[in-house]
Amino acid sequence: MSEPTTNPHPDLSIRAAELDAADELFKLRERFALPEGVVYLDGNSLGALPAAVPGRVADVVAREWGELLIRSWDESGWWTAPERIGDLIAPLVGAAPGRIVVGDSTSVNLFKALVGAARLVAARGAAEAGGGSGGEPRTELIVDATTFPTDGYIAASAARMTGLTVVPVEPAELLAALGPRTAVVLMNHVDYRSGRLHDLPGLTAAVRAAGALAVWDLCHSAGALPVGLDAHGVDLAVGCTYKYLNGGPGSPAYLYIAERHQAAFDSPLPGWNSHAEPFAMSLGYVPADGALRGRVGTPDILSMLSLEAALGVWDGVDVEAVRAKSLALTDFFLECVEAYVPAGRVESVTPAAHAERGSQVALRTDDAAAVMKELIARGVIGDFRHPDVLRFGFTPLYVGFADAERAARTLAGILSA
């Protein structure tokens, strides 16, 4: 298998260069340490390394830990890192300060959010019953049937703990599934396989109108497109930081708790870090105020401060501009695929409509695993999802239009052989 020696559509290469030259975000590529000659289209699994991170991590290890030792909990701000870094993420997902706390994994935060949401609903139901309003008990936890598997596992466990019944629902059927028994709804903002973007504003409004609480997984949207958590009335949300936020492998996740729920949020994992007086070491648990209730144990400082440094790449960046470039990139990539790849060899499973598209393109093809392996060997890194999907993630901060054109041309070379 070999790439064509000549470009059958040189005008696309020229357009790519022109688009890159006019791109206001193109210079942000300099904020990352990317391997020479590689087209990296897997930022929807692991973001590229921000150039400032190695030096910051070295300083944390050698000076803050090595020299200051335990003093760094105060002197270097280690203790307040979870909420401080949460406030850095907040504007990227449309949240005010004090509503996001960083720490633990996405799965752990999702467990907190789902159990916490179920408890909020139960407490509200008990208060309404006590007031004589009665009403049908809310017993259903609706879960996006296309969700990432771990979300489903966590939801099942949370339901067992809270007496709810999991009801898997296809996103397109969610509105019809809502009713007086619905307690909590868990949705993914962007489908991890197809890249389909779900209607967070509309679905959140419908869930709340049904008297339930909306919990969103933002893993494949935060850092790629506007989210608007506060503006759209989201109740709780979680997300990872190692994809479009470029925090590094296994970097800590985050939990969003809407301000209106913070005083009543009852975490299923009450740890000493979320105690109102953590150093009092009292046997009874009294939760801290605000989003701090989402903390549990000692923060993972090395990865957390690496994340803090990584978030510096967002200085001066408008998320709306990122979204505009994301759509332009994916549009251009799909145009190049259509022009270069032999007819019938690939099928896009990513929606064409902008309102329904995240920041990735998923193409279905025969022998997708082998095709992706060959793409990677030729310097175009995407990923494969069983059984037949090639995924290409477009991170606008460091991916350019020439990258998109080269990726499509390389794919065509493989599929034309």
Kindly report, residue by residue over 13-66, the tens digit of the pLDDT: 999 999 999 999 999 999 999 999 999 999 999 999 999 999 999 999 999 999
Q: Which two tokens stand for residue 208?
A: 């709340």
- Using the 8-state DSSP alphabet, how is residue 64 labeled? I
Q: What does the pLDDT look like over 85-130, one tens digit per residue?
A: 999 999 999 999 999 999 999 999 999 999 999 999 999 988 776 6
Whether the predicted pLDDT of 1 surpasses 50: no
Residue 203 CA to residue 190 CA, distance in Å, equals 13
Helix (H, G, I), strand (E, B) or coil at 194: coil
CB atoms within 10 A of CB 192: 23
The per-residue pLDDT of the chain, averaged, comes to 96
Marked catalytic residue, from 26, 32, 111, 148: 148
Marked catalytic residue, from 42, 151, 217, 383: 217
Residue with tokens 């510096």: 312
Q: How many CA atoms lie within 13 A of 230 on its CB side?
A: 12
323 catalytic residue (yes or no): no
332 catalytic residue (yes or no): no
Residue 129 CA to residue 132 CA, distance in Å, equals 5
106 touches 240 (CB < 8 A): yes
Whether the predicted pLDDT of 4 surpasses 60: no
Residue 405 CA to residue 417 CA, distance in Å, equals 19
Once rounded to an integer, what is the mean pLDDT over residues 302-322?
A: 98
Q: What does the pLDDT look like over 243-254, one tens digit per residue?
A: 999 999 999 999
CA distances from 59 to 51, 84, 180, 247, 302 (A): 14, 19, 54, 17, 10
291 touches 83 (CB < 8 A): yes
Helix (H, G, I), strand (E, B) or coil at 22: helix
Identify the band that residue 131 occupies on the pLDDT scale cut at 50, 70 and 90.
Answer: low
Q: Which residues pair with 167 in a beta bridge?
A: 142
Identify the band that residue 133 occupies on the pLDDT scale cut at 50, 70 and 90.
Answer: low
Among 249, 252, 246, smallest CA distance to 29 is for 246
pLDDT value at residue 126: 82
243 catalytic residue (yes or no): yes
Once rounded to an integer, what is the mean pLDDT over residues 292-319?
A: 98
Once rounded to an integer, what is the mean pLDDT over residues 393-402?
A: 98
Whether the predicted pLDDT of 72 surpasses 50: yes
Helix (H, G, I), strand (E, B) or coil at 50: strand
pTM, rounded to two decimals: 0.96
Q: Which residues pair with 276 in a beta bridge?
A: none
Cis peptide before 387 (omega within 30 of 0): yes
Q: What does the pLDDT look like over 162-213, one tens digit per residue?
A: 999 999 999 999 999 999 999 999 999 999 999 999 999 999 999 999 999 9
The percent of residues above 70 in pLDDT, for the chain, comes to 97
Q: Which two tokens stand for residue 119?
A: 């408890």
- Using the 8-state DSSP alphabet, how is residue 65 labeled? I
The secondary structure element, H or E, covering residue 186 is strand 182-188
Marked catalytic residue, from 31, 181, 357, 391: 391
The secondary structure element, H or E, covering residue 156 is helix 149-162
pLDDT value at residue 132: 52
Q: What does the pLDDT look like over 335-371, one tens digit per residue?
A: 999 999 999 999 999 999 999 999 999 999 999 999 9
Once rounded to an integer, what is the mean pLDDT over residues 284-309?
A: 97
Residues in the chain: 417
Identify the band that residue 135 occupies on the pLDDT scale cut at 50, 70 and 90.
Answer: confident
pLDDT value at residue 40: 98
Number of helices (H), then strands (E), belonging to the chain: the values are 13, 15
Torsion angles phi and psi, residue 358, rounded to 5 = -80, -135
318 catalytic residue (yes or no): no
Marked catalytic residue, from 243, 357, 406, 409: 243
Marked catalytic residue, from 32, 111, 192, 242: 242
Name every residue whose Cβ is closer than 8 Å to that of residue 302 and which is 6 or more positions away in sequence: 57, 60, 61
The secondary structure element, H or E, covering residue 236 is strand 236-239
202 touches 230 (CB < 8 A): no
242 catalytic residue (yes or no): yes
223 touches 87 (CB < 8 A): no
Name every residue whose Cβ is closer than 8 Å to that of residue 395 and which is 6 or more positions away in sequence: 40, 43, 44, 47, 48, 223, 224, 244, 246, 359
